[in-house]
């Protein structure tokens, strides 16, 4: 984004300078007067300035490209060696994944948890249809329930999974398009922790409180550990909300360092990790 802005600023500046030169020449030609040496000197200085800015922009572009290449090489090395860092970190742990956003995809989370030795019983996506324009009366008639709010539905969903140890209500909601379930081991007996995948394309405090807030409050009440995660490219971050909720968070889970931080957080290293201003550290200080 920095490169593009500099490019646009340089381009716009050049356009206005060229326009000014054109007007200046136009006035002189119209008056049948030759351009003075002073005016030519001014034009030459303007052209030199444009050349300087372009050269600086080219240098900056090359520097950033070089740094990006170095970062890619480092990430590849970390990914190659990450197996030794996370090996068996989550062995014996049963970790569910609940996604509270339809705005972003998290395709690698489960595979990395399994790479660290963890077991994933299921992935559950809470869809927007569970809250937006939901006709509770029609919903209750359809499911034979007496829910008064959408939060009641989310709470009941959590209760059936984490207390009653079944997916009957979840499956019913899935058939009607309110949630999406990706089955894993489906071992619901002893769920040790939950990874909450979140973040939005815009601020939606009502949705954040309903989905993230309700689930976090329920799980904390049942002493189930929760780690909130999001991608580096989310437009509206939920990390501040995770901080208020007093759960650990990772803001770059789409990158190898974020995946390592997630495993460490699930292994007991509490904190807020990642690349954004809300992060306390890029990684937990102790990886052993």
Higher local confidence (pLDDT), 226 or 26: 226
Does position 267 have pLDDT exceeding 60, yes or no? yes
What value does the mean pLDDT take over residues 192-204? Answer: 97
Q: What is the pLDDT of residues 104-136, one digit of tens each?
A: 999 999 999 999 999 999 999 999 999 878 999
Residue 25's pLDDT band, with cuts at 50, 70 and 90, is low
Distances (CA, A) of 134 to 47, 145, 147, 238: 62, 14, 12, 24
> Are the beta carbons of 263 and 229 closer than 8 angstroms?
no
Backbone angles phi, psi at 287, to 5 degrees: -100, -5
| Residue, of 231 and 81, whose pLDDT is higher | 231
Nearest one of 202, 220, 173 to 104, comparing CA atoms? 202
- Closest to 186 in 3D by CA, of 125, 102, 124: 124
Residue 14 scores a pLDDT above 80: no
The first and second tokens of residue 120, run together, are: 């994933």
Which residue carries 């990642």 as its tokens?
Answer: 274
DSSP character string of 78-115 = HHHHHHHHHTTTTTT-BEEEEE--SSS--TTHHHHHHH
Report whether pLDDT(256) > 50: yes
- 92-273 is classed CATH 3.40.50.280: yes
pLDDT at site 61: 83
Look at the alpha carbons of 275, 281, 285, 287 in this order and tell me if their dihedral is positive or negative: negative
In which element (H, E) is residue 41 found?
helix 37-86
222, 192 Cβ separation under 8 angstroms: no
Q: How far apart are CA 274 and CA 232, in angstroms?
A: 8
């Amino acid at each position: 984004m920095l490169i593009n802005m500099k490019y646009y600023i340089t381009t716009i500046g050049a356009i206005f300078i060229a326009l000014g030169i054109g007007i200046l020449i136009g006035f002189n030609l119209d008056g049948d007067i030759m351009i003075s040496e002073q005016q030519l000197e001014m034009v030459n200085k303007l052209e030199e300035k444009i050349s300087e800015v372009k050269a600086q922009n080219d240098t900056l572009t090359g520097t950033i490209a070089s740094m990006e290449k170095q970062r890619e090489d480092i990430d590849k090395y970390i990914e190659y060696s990450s197996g030794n860092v996370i090996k068996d970190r989550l062995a014996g742990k049963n970790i569910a994944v609940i996604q509270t956003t339809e705005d972003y995809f998290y395709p690698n989370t489960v595979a990395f948890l399994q790479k660290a030795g963890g077991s994933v019983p299921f992935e559950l996506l809470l869809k927007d249809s569970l809250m937006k324009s939901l006709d509770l009366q029609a919903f209750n008639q359809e499911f034979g329930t007496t829910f008064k709010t959408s939060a009641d539905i989310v709470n009941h969903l959590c209760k059936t999974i984490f207390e009653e140890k079944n997916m009957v209500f979840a499956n019913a909601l899935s058939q009607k398009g309110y949630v999406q379930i990706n089955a894993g081991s489906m071992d619901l007996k002893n769920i040790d922790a939950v990874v909450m995948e979140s973040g939005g394309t815009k601020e939606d405090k009502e949705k954040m409180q309903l989905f993230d807030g309700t689930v976090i409050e329920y799980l904390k009440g049942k002493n189930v550990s929760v780690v909130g995660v999001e991608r580096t490219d989310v437009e509206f971050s939920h990390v501040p909300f995770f901080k208020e909720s007093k759960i650990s968070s990772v803001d770059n889970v789409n990158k190898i360092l974020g995946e390592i931080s997630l495993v460490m957080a699930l292994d007991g290293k509490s904190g807020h990790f990642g690349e954004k201003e809300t992060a306390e550290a890029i990684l937990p200080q102790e990886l052993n």
